[in-house]
Structure 1
């Protein structure tokens, strides 16, 4: 027993000697020798303290700079010294390090006492860390560590770690002022609830800024530093109150460098905790933004777009970027309202998604991505976190795909005024339906008889376009779909709309290999956003551009960060694109399949448009564009048991009505959604003819 005590005392003496020698070294050998004597590990830590950037919150804004989402691992708001109240500084030093303004990084009395206790127990049982030492520890854990292992090592409960912290604390006191150290500490220390630093803590708990913190508020924040989880004021209010009042008492101690009066202390202790409920920390990520109804789909597209452009998701969450997007609030709100008006959010099994893209010959900026569904994780509330507007959906757009057949024909020299045959029934000599000949009928109400290509686009006879597809070549039609905008829809999913895996055929390859005559009838999986961009390409003089949601990415220092984006391509000559736009210009006029919703909305502008419906009525679409704005709507059965969709009058919502029993068409729910939204979006814009050149941003 005596031998054990002797060994512990001997170890205490040795370690104390090591600590003293380490701490005294700067005074004995100077800066140059100090660097030479520092171990490799210590050098790395010193480097980290000087060079590492603190993780910061990334803010995503709309095109006007108004925040729409925040991304962070740790919620932080960096705050300079002159923007932190004296009461906050008084509170944290009073409770965490009373002699902060007097020592040189290490509190000798406290350290020796704690070291003796720790040697006796064999582990770190007592802290006695100064604020400078805590700054070192928190910085190494929350800033300098590259991974969870490094973070764990930086907070391991060993004597060696305490010695390293002390050594670094002394170095910091040589290179930084007390004010700088205190400010650095207050910007890095955790306050619980995923909140780090006093700037974020003031906002999270009190909805204020650090220089407005009262005595009571400052004391509570200082109290939380001791044990943020156990002292959470929302879950452990009595414990938090007790600790807060202890801090207030310490703030009034005459021995403090910064102190409050006894009268102020008593008044502060009488105040309630006053913590916000819910907390003032902004939601993290796309699912939680706002009330989850409007911006989530756009936010998710922004993140996926940036990741495809080479941005690491982890860096987006820690880099402190400002991502200014192209989202237009007016367009987004109008589209959301229109989508919900036609299909209420909680309608079982039916989604109604809309995308809006602004045309241009330099870029195609995405203005709105919405759905009747809210963006979130509660399916019972009509929510989904799946990117149903931007990603490819396993439902077709119907006769909208006839646009690609018409475009291929026009590119080969056909005119929109050329006549094409339209029999009531047509059996193809080229295409097959399994082993049987492929036979196609026209939809109900479509009269047979020859008509111009322009009239065919407006009335949408199936037989005419299957025959035209034979003439121009299926491969050319498929290629045209890709060139005009269905890039991911054609090449990044399989024939069932699932993400493509190695060795599988893409949608485009599958259609070509199987000589699928029904391609022009729009049975393939498709993205609503890409459909919108197809129309933007047509009214942009045939210029395809990637549908970008990014206006600018700014780093924490205010510098613009380049975003790798595909270059625009001239996929149709301006003459062919203009002819195609004119060919699509009669769909909203009397006799066209979209005349009813256009008339109901009071639409009076030239518009290139097309409706579409799949054979089993499980989905229907509408696409349209003016020179100023392009958009697409896809209404489809999104439940686990897809069925036909039935539409009824009197403003009643659509409903699922069994497989093959639906009556939805592109001119009903999708068309009404498009015209109602676009009528509002175009308010204030001049009426522009389709023959005019699109506005170039």
Structure 2
């Protein structure tokens, strides 16, 4: 058993100061005799600044990201550290570290006079520098290296330098620390800050990483192994150098016996035991969102980027020890993840199915789920991607005819058409492009099929999606109004990307790459047919804006942030905007209410037994390289997109599973993108009463200009 530790609480504090004075005199006089009298000035000039840094610099802690129910989904950190209190550390651990590192710890005043004098005399004679550091001094040194100067390699080098100036500086600060902090707090702080190999810092993290236990449960051999590693974490790494680690552990156990902290018979038993570390360890959690569960990876990455955009730094997120509670609904996320995986397997060659769910609202649009058949990761062979294909404008082929929502909204706002307005709808027609000159070819378009009436009302057009009618309407309304409506309703980041879904490159001579979409499509009527890169998340927010009575809010993934002190941390939020009148939004919802009843997704809805009142708009690109369903039901605004995402994009074909191919008549939004929506929402709405859609505003039923 471990012997009891006797604290020298009756030793007056001033003895430490007296000891320090003696050591400093001995240490400074020697180098003065050698012609280095400036040493004492160097020490005095630096101590005050360093003491202030120690007082104000906080240890890097792990940030925990959770879902809305508080379940952890990821950890973010620069140093894996789990801080503990003194009463959470086993006596075996304190006994081991004191025995091997500083056996006079409990009685000294921050420095060890004998050790410092011995080291100073030896160093001044010209030999190699010696030790003599106490645990308190080591605490100061490690705090400088691992906390204060962790981002400054030059400063860390100075913190480790074997110079008398550095040792004297540490000694003076150590005595100051000894006068202001209890021995228990100093020992706890030391055990929290030191490295245990790799990216493991502090005894709390080390106990978990090496033994899957907590510091209060460490036995003699476990504590001795960890205490032995502190001197040289890499050299005594039990996985890389098991024999050296075992020898070092046993040395610590012997020191515990010498220091009367452990009985000899118990020591022999402990020394005979194996290392006992975890197989295939150490067990360290992922330090990024790449370690999140399959239904949370894209969400976590979006939440992290959202906070960076809100003014947090990466270092703050990785070291702040925050608890970030996100808006992610685990039930929604898992249900939708199952639905997209059933539609397109995770490792399906060349086909991605991204799905986003947002809760509409007047004050916030909470993101409930961001999933895909792909998982957030780095192994393409397993169907993983490190691109956020849900949040980014990653569907480079576009969302097809779902963009007709923007043309319709702009037409309602400008009065060019109302829900009942008949739209010219020939089987095929050529249109003059905006800003065209005599050399500009016309833009010619055809309807997909011959069963469309001519004319067709805007209401019926939204359900059945004839191309000619909507390109003609877009030509009437004008591209500036349509593009502005797309931005207002939700395509904020999407329209800032170029026609390849990337940041515009001003060095390129090709407008497709040098201009943002908001500029590039000013003279292109193809916009309403959705052939440009788009973010699935932002398209779901378009639905959320309409379902919120025309109130746009940024897609918000954050419920709250709590600091390491338990206090709330504010997050800068972009203000919500009333981007269209409620009457317009309600009318457009009414126009979108027929898609699953008599429109392009009706057959899939019937096959799924779908009967809920909802809004929807499908989209299919010309070569069926991308299909989409954008809509919403109850409190769920959604976007489901299936698109080619491999190096050799091709036509997407329906089937079980959905796949790339040459099927002659490829997939449609209603046949491939809508089924996951029906699958997931049917489960989420089971047993709930239907929520009726708003009635259209008479002011938007007929054209006004």
Deviation by residue 1:179-227 (Cα, 9 ceiling, x = unmatched): 2211111111111131111111112112222112112221111111122
Contact 2:236 2:245 in 1 (8 A): yes
Q: Does 1:366 align with 2:370?
A: no
Describe how 1:252-291 pairs up with structure 2 within 5 A.
252-253=257-258, 255-256=259-260, 259-277=261-279, 278-290=281-293
Q: Does 1:550 align with 2:558?
A: yes
Contact 2:358 2:638 in 1 (8 A): yes
Contact 2:110 2:178 in 1 (8 A): yes
Q: 1:664 to 1:120 in 2, by over 3 A?
A: farther
Give the CA deviation at 1:149: 2.1
TM-score by length of 1: 0.89
Which of the numbers 76, 90, 94 marks the counterpart of 1:85? 90
Corresponding residue for 1:349?
A: 350
Which of the numbers 612, 623, 631 marks the counterpart of 1:616? 623
Describe how 1:1-20 pairs up with structure 2 within 5 A.
19-20=24-25
Which of the numbers 392, 406, 411 marks the counterpart of 1:409? 411
**Higher mean C-alpha deviation, range 397-406 or range 662-671:** 662-671
Contact 2:401 2:618 in 1 (8 A): yes
Question: Secondary structure of 1:670's match?
Answer: helix
Deviation by residue 1:338-369 (Cα, 9 ceiling, x = unmatched): 11111111112111111111111110001111
Q: 1:113 to 1:655 in 2, by over 3 A?
A: same
Distance of 2:268 and 2:603 partners within structure 1: 73
Corresponding residue for 2:519?
A: 509
Contact 1:616 1:662 in 2 (8 A): no
Which of the numbers 446, 464, 468 marks the counterpart of 1:459? 464
Distance of 1:289 and 1:427 partners within structure 2: 50
Q: Does 1:133 align with 2:137?
A: yes
Corresponding residue for 1:30?
A: none
Corresponding residue for 1:41?
A: 46
Corresponding residue for 1:230?
A: 235
Deviation by residue 1:397-418 (Cα, 9 ceiling, x = unmatched): 0000011111112223443223
Question: Secondary structure of 2:352's match?
Answer: strand
Distance of 1:476 and 1:417 partners within structure 2: 21
Which of the numbers 566, 570, 579 marks the counterpart of 1:571? 579
RMSD between aligned alpha carbons?
2.4
Corresponding residue for 1:218?
A: 223
Give the CA deviation at 1:662: 6.3
Question: Secondary structure of 1:192's match?
Answer: coil
Question: Secondary structure of 2:593's match?
Answer: coil
Corresponding residue for 1:647?
A: 654
The unaligned stretches of length 5 or more in structure 1 are 1-14, 25-34
Distance of 2:284 and 2:505 partners within structure 1: 40
Describe how 1:418-457 pairs up with structure 2 within 5 A.
418-430=421-433, 435-444=440-449, 446-457=451-462
Distance of 2:687 and 2:170 partners within structure 1: 64
Q: 1:600 to 1:216 in 2, by over 3 A?
A: farther
Contact 2:640 2:676 in 1 (8 A): yes
Q: 1:55 to 1:654 in 2, by over 3 A?
A: same
Contact 2:400 2:627 in 1 (8 A): yes
Corresponding residue for 1:316?
A: 317
Distance of 2:273 and 2:42 partners within structure 1: 53
Which of the numbers 572, 584, 592 marks the counterpart of 1:584? 592
Describe how 1:36-115 pairs up with structure 2 within 5 A.
39-115=44-120
**Higher mean C-alpha deviation, range 497-506 or range 396-405:** 497-506
Question: Secondary structure of 1:487's match?
Answer: coil
Give the CA deviation at 1:561: 1.6
Distance of 1:403 and 1:309 partners within structure 2: 30
Q: 1:120 to 1:444 in 2, by over 3 A?
A: farther
Distance of 2:176 and 2:87 partners within structure 1: 24
Give the CA deviation at 1:270: 3.1
Question: Secondary structure of 2:670's match?
Answer: coil
Question: Secondary structure of 1:439's match?
Answer: strand
Distance of 1:274 and 1:684 partners within structure 2: 52
Equivalenced residues, count: 655
Question: Secondary structure of 1:227's match?
Answer: coil
Corresponding residue for 1:538?
A: 546
Deviation by residue 1:551-575 (Cα, 9 ceiling, x = unmatched): 1111111221221121111111111
Give the CA deviation at 1:542: 0.8
Contact 1:22 1:167 in 2 (8 A): no
Q: 1:37 to 1:684 in 2, by over 3 A?
A: farther
Contact 2:352 2:372 in 1 (8 A): yes
The unaligned stretches of length 5 or more in structure 2 are 1-19, 30-39, 508-513, 697-705
Corresponding residue for 2:5?
A: none
Give the CA deviation at 1:502: 5.3
Contact 1:484 1:534 in 2 (8 A): yes
Which of the numbers 144, 148, 165 marks the counterpart of 2:153? 148
Distance of 1:38 and 1:231 partners within structure 2: 33
Give the CA deviation at 1:147: 2.2
Deviation by residue 1:68-125 (Cα, 9 ceiling, x = unmatched): 111111111111111111111001001111111122222233333334444455543x
Deviation by residue 1:458-490 (Cα, 9 ceiling, x = unmatched): 111001101111222222111111111001111
Corresponding residue for 1:497?
A: 501
TM-score by length of 2: 0.88
Q: 1:21 to 1:526 in 2, by over 3 A?
A: same
Corresponding residue for 1:486?
A: 491
Describe how 1:118-129 pairs up with structure 2 within 5 A.
118-120=123-125, 122-124=127-129, 126-129=130-133
Give the CA deviation at 1:371: 1.0
Contact 1:536 1:630 in 2 (8 A): yes
Give the CA deviation at 1:301: 0.6
